[in-house]
Structure 1
Amino acid sequence: MYSGKLIHDATVIDIDHVVPLKWAWDHGANEWTRERRIEFANDPVNLLAVEASLNRQKGAKGPGEWQPPTNQCQYLSRFRRIAIKYDLAPNLVPPC
């Protein structure tokens, strides 16, 4: 989703947390129970196979600091949906 490319080589793919774990921690997850944090970390809606280079570029940044080179609206919409689901400051997600 981040590059718009079809990738056939698994060695160049990472599984990304759309809403990074550190970003979530800094925006409310630090108050969750252990079970809620595990649920969030393993939520399939928050997991995405992406190019490793873009995942590393993104790191723990939120959408105010990083957006993918393509499909920004899809990315922002998914980020917002997850932020709303977990009550993680959805107002910090810029509109697309």
Structure 2
Amino acid sequence: MAVGASEWSTPGRRALANDLTHSQLIAVSAGSNRAKGDKDPGNWKPSLQAYWCTYSRAWISVKATYQLTANPAEAEALFRMLDTCDS
């Protein structure tokens, strides 16, 4: 059964943090980084709506790769962001 990363061991968290294949590290300003913090898409979205498709697809890719769960608010936000995709 999938669980959240809060249930992972330190080595498991380290593996995700250092995964360059499924990396979520994106260069942003310090202010943007502080605004997002550790919020999920249910609590934070990129201010540029044109980026929502890319952001949600990347977020979902990591969730699927690591078999992570999503709470209802997060899932709803991801669905809304996916609606901005052209295809």
TM-score, reference length from structure 1: 0.62
Is contact 1:80-1:90 (8 Å) kept? no
Pairwise CA distance, 1:90? 4.5
- Structure 1 runs (4+) greater than 3 angstroms displaced: 90-93
Is contact 1:29-1:88 (8 Å) kept? yes
Corresponding residue of 1:77: 57
Give per-residue Cα distances to partners, 1:48-72, cap 9 Å, x unaligned: 2112211111111100111101201
Query: Any stretches of 5+ residues in structure 2 without a counterpart?
Result: 83-87
Query: Any stretches of 5+ residues in structure 1 without a counterpart?
Result: 1-26
Secondary structure of the 2:55 match is helix
Is contact 1:40-1:46 (8 Å) kept? no
Pairwise CA distance, 1:81? 0.5
Match of 1:49 among 27, 31, 34: 27
Corresponding residue of 2:6: 30
Q: Percent identity?
A: 37
Pairwise CA distance, 1:88? 1.3
Q: How many residues were matched structurally?
A: 70
